[in-house]
Structure 1
Amino acid sequence: MRLTLDTRQRMGLSPELRQSAQVLQMDSQELSQYVERLAEENPLIEVQYPIGEGRVKSGKSNQHLLQYAAGPRHSLQDHLMSQLRLLALPKAEQSLVAYLIGCLDDHGYFAEKVEEVAAILGVGCQDIEAGLSCVQSLEPYGVGARNLQESLLLQLEHTGRMTPYLRLLIERHLEQLSSNQLVRVAKELKISLKSIQESCNLIKSLNPRPGNIFDHGESTVYIVPDIYIMKKNGCYEAALHSLSSPQIILAESSLSLSGMDADEGTRRYLREKREQAGWVMKCIEDRKATLCSVAGAILKLQQSFFERGKDYLVPLTLGRIAEELELHESTVSRAIRGKYVQCVWGTFELKYFFPTGIAGEAAHWTPDALKRVIRDLIEGEDKRAAYSDRRIAELLLEQGVVLSRRTVAKYRESMRIASATGRREYPV
């Protein structure tokens, strides 16, 4: 057997530093669960959560604090059922309509076949049609339709805007209108292009998916942001959210034991638990300080976002924040993991503020910023000679941004903006 001596140096984290790194990386829910487990193991640890102006103690009978934020979900079916209960319908008819409400898809459409539903319920097709008419009388108008045309017609009828001319356009020329073939429709119907444009604008103002304004039943995630950004005396400031982190205090009842005539084993046990509690309290305070520092650096380097919105987000890297704060990049990575910030524009995960730039000469532009520029160009164009994607790419080049026509088209389509043909308006 041959023995060799390995003299290479190995670097590693002590258990305490490893715990500190783990605490920094935890999101608010993980941190709460972690300290709850510690409180079960350590009699000196007592966990408190701030609610309003006071604090509540944690206990096995308490729900997690985040659950207090959760309100009942209100789905499309819930909304329709609440209206159905107000109608004076016979019990059998009300049951049938309730069944039909349950058949609606996420967009609010009735996607089943009338004959199949009638067979399942053991009623006639005319009963299903009558039940659907009842569903279609409920708000939001347009639900219960079997296709887009029927939904649009229902919306116009219920709002008192239906005309024979609009019905004709929707029933026979909707596809042509959607592809902006206004001149062709005007010639076919022998009416003015101006009338076609006005009717087309009215139809576009309707909701093609009336059920989408409601929750579709997926699990809702309730977030207590770790940081909030507010404007104070004309300046933006980053502060910790009071609900994002539990507070650990030392339990007085257990501390009193250390001053009594306890045996050496008990005193040693209490010393160990006091040291553990003290170190965890320090880890949580360090986590708060690091979070505040990282959020402050993000605020500084992404100030245009907080002042003007998401279109003004600039490329940013973890290394840039680490350099700003003189921290290791891995520390910044742990600090932003699963953490959220609340500001006037909404609630965002911290990693949202680290978008990558576009390769090449447009490296200082983010995709959102480029979309804003493209949208601004389109909004300012002459609609009688709408810009093609190639022309938009040429205009961007004049601003020092190199984008291919294909990339321009991809960004335009992601914003649901029609092509030049679809945006063109005809002189009247």
Structure 2
Amino acid sequence: MALAPRLDLRQSQSLVMTPQLQQAIRLLALSNIEIEAYIASELEKNPLLELARGAAGTDTDSAPEPFADDDAPRPPTEAASDAMLRDGSVGSESPLDVDGAGDVRGDGEDAMAGAPSRGEGLGMDTMGASSGGFSEDGPDFENFASTGIGLHEHLMDQARLRFSGAELLIASQLIGQIDETGYLETELLPLAYALKVPLVQVEAVLAEIQTFDPVGVGARSLAECLALQAKEADRHDPAMAALLANLDLLAKGALPQLRRICGVDEEDLADMIRELRGYDPKPGLRFSANETQAVVPDIFITPQGKGWAIEINSATLPRVLINRSYYTELSGGVQDKTSKAWLSDCLASANWLVKALDQRQKTIVKVATEIVRCQEEFFRHGVAHLKPLTLRTVAEAIGMHESTISRVTSNKYLSCPRGLYELKYFFTSGIASSEGGEAVSAEAVKSRIKALIGAEDPAKILSDDTLVEMLRAEGFDLARRTVAKYRESIGIGSSVQRRRQKALAG
């Protein structure tokens, strides 16, 4: 084999995704709230972008039209899509699930696909497919949610009023070891050694902390937490103390044994159990510093005649425009090539963002329209009529790639007369019918299991085997392990656990 340099000619094909195409793909997976944050960052970087003033439909320009001149790159038109594909700017026929940039996958044409104006055969009017408007005068509901103070800050405020000097130092150390649920996570003896103070002093400080608000904070066990609350309610008598010392028997439902230990009759024991249920086993969570964010729907589904109106939620979607006058002003004063190139890049980026946002809305509406068409019985009659549906089914129906459907349905919520649902909720596996009929959705089976257990007689708790027989009688062909898995997934305990709970409730 000769070791000499040589020149070879090879031919290969590759898909190169431009930054603009990556941006369009990335926007598909974002919810309306995330889009708002993304647009805010783009507004800071691009001086030519601005938010439309006033509510949707009140602006004089009904649609954001990119501005272009002879010196700046013009935005792509629908007719130029194929040419851009050949030039390597945007892919319109090849699936965009190529891992070219490591974190972007999608479908070129799918990402830029338009939405049908009406669902054929179903009367679905796709309204609000444009990028919509944004009112700066509208209420910001996040401002109404008060974050408050955390549990540690709340306890330290009380400690400063009760302690001083060395005791305040001990209290701060103890409070620092209390978890978010309100329980003390450390042993007192090692802490006393570390602080070089007597153990009895640490115990005294802890006893004082256990009188702080919320009641039950600083406990080292569930029994101690409930005992502190019982003392506060003046219900901590010897019988209650005996009950709290035997919470394991209460969990097992050993009521006759508990009556003997506590020395009470059946009625008194029931009163004590009801008292315990009124206590808070995790008092610290009332001061959790975690912010609760309400789920905002991205799509509205409303009945309209014999079909459905599908509309993008424009209230949470800012409308982006290009400041033409500002571009003219800047371009008139540009002299050097660097500034001119920077201004052209800003205009091209703004054009692409406006177009990508508009096409994103059309794609979401297109996917939502197909979901409503496939699951129309659910919207009319409820979860029992939910049909099996896969991403591939929707992708083939609307001519998009499966990965594009996955992005569109991620972190998106749909609001309809039946409630608020994530788009992923409508994609469920199928359960074969025992009578050879059409398969049913797994969610429909879970709903039926929940209904059967909810209507069971407390004296005759339904076992998993009984549930299998009842479901097969209704046409659901399931194995016992499948019923148990579905039951656990909806948060329902076994027959033994339910029998114990109903005995305690009775």
Same fold (TM over 0.5): yes
For 2:217, the equivalent position in structure 1 comes to 143
Q: Residue 356 of structure 1: which of 428, 440, 449 is its match?
A: 428
CA distance in 2, matches of 1:121, 1:345: 59
Q: Show the 5 A alignment for 1:355-394.
A: 355-357=427-429, 359-361=431-433, 364-367=440-443, 369-394=444-469
Q: Show the 5 A alignment for 1:17-416.
A: 18-19=21-22, 21-22=24-25, 24-25=27-28, 27=30, 29=34, 33=38, 36=41, 40=45, 45-48=48-51, 54-55=135-136, 72=147, 74-85=149-160, 87-171=161-245, 173-186=246-259, 191-215=264-288, 225=296, 227-229=298-300, 238-245=311-318, 247-258=320-331, 274-298=347-371, 315-322=388-395, 325=398, 327-339=400-412, 350=423, 352-357=424-429, 359-361=431-433, 364-367=440-443, 369-414=444-489, 415=491
- Contact 1:23–1:287 (CA<8 Å) still a contact in 2? no
- Contact 1:322–1:332 (CA<8 Å) still a contact in 2? yes
The residue identity in structure 2 corresponding to 1:27 is L
TM-score relative to the length of structure 2: 0.63
CA distance in 1, matches of 2:155, 2:334: 69
- Contact 1:238–1:296 (CA<8 Å) still a contact in 2? no
The residue identity in structure 1 corresponding to 2:503 is E
The residue identity in structure 2 corresponding to 1:178 is A
Query: Alpha-carbon deviation of 1:395?
Result: 2.3
Query: Is the alpha carbon distance of 1:209 and 1:396 closer, same or farther for their aligned partners in structure 2, counting shifts above 3 Å?
Result: farther
Query: Alpha-carbon deviation of 1:229?
Result: 3.5
Query: Alpha-carbon deviation of 1:115?
Result: 0.9
Q: CA RMSD in A?
A: 4.8
- Contact 1:32–1:246 (CA<8 Å) still a contact in 2? no
Between Structure 1 and Structure 2, how many residues are aligned? 410
Query: Alpha-carbon deviation of 1:150?
Result: 0.9
- Contact 1:66–1:223 (CA<8 Å) still a contact in 2? no
- Contact 2:36–2:316 (CA<8 Å) still a contact in 1? no
1:64-122, Cα deviation, whole Å (9 max, x unpaired): x999899746433233334445x444354334323212111233211211111112222
CA distance in 2, matches of 1:88, 1:229: 54
CA distance in 2, matches of 1:177, 1:399: 37
- Contact 2:334–2:340 (CA<8 Å) still a contact in 1? no
Query: Alpha-carbon deviation of 1:283?
Result: 1.8
Percent pairwise identity: 29
CA distance in 2, matches of 1:424, 1:385: 11
Query: Is the alpha carbon distance of 1:374 and 1:159 closer, same or farther for their aligned partners in structure 2, counting shifts above 3 Å?
Result: farther
Query: Is the alpha carbon distance of 1:358 and 1:94 closer, same or farther for their aligned partners in structure 2, counting shifts above 3 Å?
Result: farther
Q: Secondary structure at the match of 2:428?
A: coil
CA distance in 1, matches of 2:202, 2:381: 52
CA distance in 2, matches of 1:213, 1:309: 35
Query: Alpha-carbon deviation of 1:127?
Result: 1.8
The residue identity in structure 2 corresponding to 1:284 is L
Query: Is the alpha carbon distance of 1:123 and 1:361 closer, same or farther for their aligned partners in structure 2, counting shifts above 3 Å?
Result: farther
CA distance in 2, matches of 1:412, 1:266: 65
More helix by share: 1
Q: Secondary structure at the match of 1:383?
A: coil
CA distance in 2, matches of 1:427, 1:331: 49
Return 5+ residue gaps in structure 1 as ranges: 57-64
Higher relative contact order (CA 8 A, sep 6+): 2
TM-score relative to the length of structure 1: 0.73
Q: Secondary structure at the match of 2:236?
A: coil
Query: Is the alpha carbon distance of 1:133 and 1:296 closer, same or farther for their aligned partners in structure 2, counting shifts above 3 Å?
Result: farther
Q: Secondary structure at the match of 2:241?
A: helix
- Contact 2:375–2:426 (CA<8 Å) still a contact in 1? no
Return 5+ residue gaps in structure 2 as ranges: 1-5, 56-133
